[in-house]
Structure formats: C-alpha cells, structure tokens
C-alpha cells in the first residue's frame, strides 16, 4: 500500500516545439524532482495538462517514467473524468504496470450532489486495479465534496486510501482530519497551505512548486512532519512570494513559466492552456530572481 506521507509533486508535462511530449525533458524533470527529495510523483494531474493528453500518450509516459525510476519513488497516475462509465472503460484498457495508485479528480462541470459524488467514486473503487486517491478541488470543479461524503467513502471502500484536499476552508480540513478513519490519508492540494495542514495532522502535500524548487519545498514538508516548525517556517516564507505569484498566474501557465526561466523545459502548452502575458512573464522573472537570491 502506497504511503502519501511526505512530498508528492504534480509533475508538469513538457512539450516540444511540435506540441508532442518532450520525453527527454520529462526524464530530466523526473531526475530533478527525485534528486530534490520528493517522495512520489503524480503523472497527468491537472498541472500535467491531463485533459489534453491522450490515453496512448499517458500509457507511453508511464512506461518510460516507471522504467527510468526503477522503483526509486512511487508513481501515481492521474485518472479522472466527469463520465463515470467512460472512466471505468478507460481504466480497463490501461496498463497500470509501474504505477502505485490512481488520483481521480472530482467530476467537473456536471455539478453532482453528494450522493452522485459518492456513487461516482464507489463505482471507480470497485473496478480500479490500484488504490484510489480522491481529489477534491472546488476551485476547478465548482462543487465541493463534504467531509461526511469523504469519510463515508473511506469507510465503505477499502480501495480508497486517501484524499488530496485542495480547499482553503480550514474548518472543512479540520473536520476531515478529526473524523477520518485510522489509516486514511489526507494531503494538502495547495502549496501555501501545506504547513498549516500538516500542523493539523495532514500527511503531506501534492505540490506544484516542487516542480521548480523540490529541494527547498521538500525540506519544508519534512521539517513540518518532524515537528520542526521553526525550520519549516523558514522555507515556507522563503517560497511564499513565488507561491502567491503563481496562484495569481493560473496553473500550469505560471509554473511552466518558472520552469522555462530555470531552463528545465520549453515554454509550450496545449490549448486551451496558454502562456501568461508578456507583462506577467516579466513579473514571474522578477519573482524567480528574488527567490533564487534568497535561496543562495
């Protein structure tokens, strides 16, 4: 059973100038975050532009990355949809060899009620070949899964092992952490809230900023988990300006700009995701320079 304790990174998907997945950059990025101290990698979450990546591309990337890692850290596959039946069919077609779990986002656009959310995830869990991680992100899906629904799923579906809770509602986070069954894991989905979530009892975070600054963010997460909050706060506030800047730039437009500035990937997206404006890019350049100076 995969443990989500620590730092996971929602990996960006690097594309080349022709719009294809840049496999060389992808493997270099994997090495970059693993050497920086991440505990597991999430392929094709929202940060990885998953809606615009085909099933075949996801399959090829999983084979490539898992072979390259050779067990160094676990791989979690992003696998979500607002069509429950279609998602199950795609899971049946997919070869998950090399992956340790599935991260499945809340159905978007459909606006299901709490019972619809429950039945969606219950149906997935019954068919999934790997443990399932729920992903509640109201800012993207419009709807919010309430703690009672999450806890019901955790109790009823043994294959559902965790939730990525991307909410800024601290009352909701505390209710979930207080009431969840033993062994059910909760990780933050917002970089800036990782420290307070961990202080309240969360197991870690699935991060965006760790694409660019895995070493520093890893130190923050691991210090928090060890109860060393003085050190954790130091790294938290070191990265807070760039975390706030990226929050206002959109994801993954902001983080891919940072990655390009740092020379890690080409500055290429798939529509409808688009690069930030020239003025915003200059703002990111300034913030990266300040961050790099603070780290040095």
Q: Do you know the residue count of the chain?
A: 296
pLDDT for res 1: 78
Using one digit for the tens of pLDDT, what is the confidence trace for 231-271? 999 999 999 999 999 988 999 999 999 999 999 999 999 99
Using CB atoms within 10 A of its CB, is residue 223 exposed (0-12), middle (13-18) or buried (19+)? buried
Cα angle, residue 171 at apex, residues 166 and 175 outer, rounded to 5°? 90
pLDDT for res 296: 78
Question: What's the whole-model pTM score?
Answer: 0.96
Q: Please, what are the averages of pLDDT over each run of 10 residues along the chain (296 residues)?
A: 95 97 98 98 96 97 98 97 96 97 96 98 97 96 96 97 96 96 97 97 98 98 98 97 93 97 96 96 96 91
Cα 270 to Cα 268: distance, rounded to the nearest angstrom:
7
CB-based contact 36:28 (threshold 8 Å): no
- Which residue of the set 135, 180, 213, 235 is catalytic? 135
- Calculate the CA 153 to chain-centre distance: 21
CATH number of 6-229: 3.20.20.70
By C-alpha distance, which of 191, 207, 66 is closest to 130? 66
Assess whether 18 carries a catalytic annotation. Answer: no
Element (H, E) at 102: strand 101-105
Using one digit for the tens of pLDDT, what is the confidence trace for 93-130? 999 999 999 999 999 999 999 999 999 999 999 999 99
For residue 39, how many C-alpha atoms fall within 13 Å in the half-sphere facing its CB?
Answer: 19
Q: What is the DSSP letter of 15?
A: B
Cα 265 to Cα 258: distance, rounded to the nearest angstrom:
9
Cα 192 to Cα 221: distance, rounded to the nearest angstrom:
11
- Which residue of the set 164, 180, 245, 256 is catalytic? 164
Cα 58 to Cα 138: distance, rounded to the nearest angstrom:
25
pLDDT for res 286: 97
Provide the residue ranges of all domains of the chain, joining segments of one domain with +.
6-229
Sign of the CA dihedral with 48 first, then 49, 51, and 57 last = negative
Assess whether 164 carries a catalytic annotation. Answer: yes
């Amino acid at each position: 059973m995969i443990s989500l304790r620590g730092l996971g990174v929602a990996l960006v998907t690097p594309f080349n100038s022709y719009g294809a997945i840049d496999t060389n950059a992808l493997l270099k990025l994997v090495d970059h975050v693993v050497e920086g101290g991440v505990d597991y990698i999430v392929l094709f979450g929202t940060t990885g532009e998953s809606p615009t990546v085909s099933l075949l591309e996801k399959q090829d990337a999983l084979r490539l990355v898992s072979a390259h890692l050779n067990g160094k850290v676990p791989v979690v596959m992003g696998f979500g949809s607002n069509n429950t039946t279609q998602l199950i069919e795609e899971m049946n077609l997919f070869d998950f060899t090399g992956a340790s779990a599935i991260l499945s986002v809340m159905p978007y656009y459909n606006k299901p009620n709490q019972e619809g959310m429950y039945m969606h995830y219950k149906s997935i869990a019954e068919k999934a070949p790997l443990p399932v991680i729920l992903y509640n992100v109201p800012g993207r899906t419009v709807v919010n899964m309430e703690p009672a629904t999450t806890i019901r799923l955790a109790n009823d579906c043994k294959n559902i092992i965790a939730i990525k809770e991307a909410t800024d509602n601290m009352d909701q986070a505390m209710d979930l952490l207080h009431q969840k069954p033993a062994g059910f894991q909760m990780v933050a989905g917002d970089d800036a809230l990782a420290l307070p979530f961990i202080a309240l009892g969360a197991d870690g975070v699935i991060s965006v900023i760790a694409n660019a600054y895995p070493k520093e963010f890893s130190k923050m997460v691991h210090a928090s988990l060890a109860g060393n909050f003085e050190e954790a706060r130091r790294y938290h506030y070191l990265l807070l300006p760039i975390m706030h800047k990226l929050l206002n730039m959109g994801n993954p437009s902001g983080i891919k700009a940072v990655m390009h500035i740092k020379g890690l990937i080409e500055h290429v997206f798939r529509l409808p995701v688009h690069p930030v404006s020239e003025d915003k890019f200059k703002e990111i350049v300034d913030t990266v320079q300040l961050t790099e100076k603070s780290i040095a």
